[in-house]
Amino acid sequence: MDNEVAIPGGIPPVEELLESAVVVRLPMRTRFRGLLAREVMIFAGPAGWGEFGAFVEYDDAEAANWLRAGIEAAYLGPLPAVRSTVTVNATVPAVPADQVAEVLSRYPGARTAKVKVAEPGQHLDDDVERVAAARAVVDRVRVDANGKWSVAQAITALRAIGPVEYAEQPCATVEELAQVRRAVDVPIAADESIRKAHDPLRVVAADAADVAIVKVAPLGGMRATLATAEAIGLPVVVSSALDSAVGMAAGVAAAAALPRLDLACGLGTGSLFTADVGPSFLPDDGRVHPRWFDAGSSLISVDDQFVAPPDRDRWWRARLRRCHALLQRNGQDT
């Protein structure tokens, strides 16, 4: 899909981005997505701060979308909001069941929980117990397997787990999602099959999903996210990509700008960090409020202990140069 949005004057020079760039390593409360700390680069532009935080294992072609999203934030700023708050879900990592209530206590007022399942090294019984523990605290539970189950495993697991709001990316491929959707009564949500796909609309053509999970950074920005959501035509959940407060600001801005938003969004993950680049988006009565880190914001103050070491700083700067070159080569203005 061609969702690029032009910046007046074109993509900014790479040296301009690097001049204000800071690489941070943000510690996390518990292991999430295999990480105990999250590295991201932030940089400033005329409209505010942007984030470049593609996961380190992603290749440059995929990471370039994340850079495009950061440039959009820093140079174009947020979209006009149509709502003043965004309802969010709690996020429960693959912790033991007896720790679930403690995790949920960090999301005051949240009535929906997304529970991670299919963690390598764990068993289905762990998933069943974790989900049951979440059900004891909140009204609605959704599960996320990050594509780690086979079709047979997904069908067995979802029947054992029982009713949930939806199962997010139970299997890796669109075809597998369609098979699972036909075999179970649980609604299916597509995440990686949208944000990592060359054609995000395949999930619709294959009748493979009931819900679309959209993430601003992987899709290339707030405006691209809204265009993708409109084209897909399914109920939408805007989620974070384990963003810092800067990246989260763009996610919340996109959610606040959607014409329709009926489901809780995955934009409360600031609770997973013990430190952030600015005030985290922490839920209040299960909601977060849109706000923006403008270019002169004094809120962007990174403690020296959270600045990434020199070798990681060099790695990120080299990566930004490569991704910037890709955006220029592909003629993408953001």
Query: For the packed helices 60-76 and 310-329, what is the interaxial angle rounded to 10 degrees?
Result: 90
**Which residues neighbour 135 within 8 Å (Cβ) at sequence distance 6 or greater?**
141
Tokens of 9: 């004057």
Whether residue 215 lies in the annotated active site = yes
Tokens of 299: 């809120």
Cα–Cα distance between 150 and 154 in angstroms, integer? Answer: 6
Alpha carbon 223 to chain centroid, angstroms: 15
| Strand partners of residue 37 | 27
- Are the beta carbons of 134 and 92 closer than 8 angstroms? yes
Q: Is the dihedral of CA 215, 220, 221, 222 positive or negative?
A: negative
Which amino acid, 108? P
Q: Is 144 annotated as a binding residue?
A: yes
Cα–Cα distance between 122 and 231 in angstroms, integer? Answer: 37
- Are the beta carbons of 293 and 49 closer than 8 angstroms? yes
Q: Is the dihedral of CA 192, 66, 252, 234 positive or negative?
A: negative
Cα–Cα distance between 263 and 86 in angstroms, integer? Answer: 10
Cα–Cα distance between 28 and 270 in angstroms, integer? Answer: 9
Whether residue 148 lies in the annotated active site = no
Q: Is 119 annotated as a binding residue?
A: no
Q: Is 191 annotated as a binding residue?
A: yes
Residue keyed to tokens 């003043």: 84
Q: What are the binding residues?
A: 144, 168, 191
Which residues are designated catalytic? 116, 215
Q: What are the binding residues for Mg(2+)?
A: 144, 168, 191
